[in-house]
Amino acid sequence: MSLKSNEKVALVTGGARGIGADIAKRLAADGTTVVITYSASKVKAEEVVDAITKAGGKALSVQADSGKAAEVKAAVGKTIDVFGRLDVLVNNAGIAIGGTPDDYTEADFDRMVDVNIKGVFAGVQAALPHLKSGGRIINIGSCMSDYAAFPNMAVYTMTKSAVAGLTRGLARDLAPRGITINNVQPGPIDTDMNPADGEFAQALKGTLPTGRYGTGSEVAALVAFLAGAESSYINGASILVDGGLIA
């Protein structure tokens, strides 16, 4: 896959499904070459790549478990090997394992931290040698970093709060290099894991000022803006896309 000299390259972790897939498709539609990672959903990942290429874009899928720092770093390396550059990193991959504080297992705790926090930092570390001035890092957090909306989600809330704090700290460190980093915090978004017509959604909609779930494309639109030149003065921000859930 040959690139034009001014063609940007983005890596989207967890881009095989849900919000990540919508982000990958939107960035590709804007003319960015996209690499997506997947942990187990190879078929879903190839569907995203096929959709992008059929629309005239360039895309590649790479297997990488975001809970394993070495695999995250290898995905960055693959991006550089194939395309020779990296301009945008979207740390989208994340998991949610609920459980009561009495019975939450150490294995589940470690897995949540590994994917939701360590994987984000590993991606940043691996990307930094390749990001030039004007580079963009966009983390996908959650509105639950500000609002513990449900019981039995304390560890998830902790990890997403950590992402918000990491974003603020890195904004100080990376700004002198001309690199911005921001944190997008979705609320209830219609995905296959959290469908807008599910039993849980019916109760939640009553608390939403908009009266509806958001869409992945609405999150992707914000990510696309933050990935572009016009967002250059937005740095270290956590931006809600939650329909006013925590307003």
In one-letter notation, the amino acid at residue 164 is A
Helices then strands (H, E): number in the chain? 8, 7
DSSP summary character for residue 185 = E
Q: How far is CA 231 from CA 23, 42, 60, 182, 242, in A?
A: 17, 33, 26, 10, 20
Do 49 and 97 touch, CB atoms closer than 8 A?
no
Q: How far is CA 94 from CA 3, 131, 160, 211, 219, in A?
A: 30, 23, 9, 26, 15
Do 192 and 146 touch, CB atoms closer than 8 A?
no
From CA 81, how far away is CA 40, in angstroms rounded?
Answer: 23
From CA 27, how far away is CA 44, in angstroms rounded?
Answer: 18
CA-based nearest residue to 35, from 45, 43, 44: 45
Catalytic residue among 38, 147, 156, 233: 156
- Residue 160: CB atoms within 10 Å: 27
Does residue 147 carry a catalytic annotation?
A: no
For residue 83 the two structure tokens come to 């395309």
Do 75 and 64 touch, CB atoms closer than 8 A?
yes
Which residues have a catalytic role annotated? 156
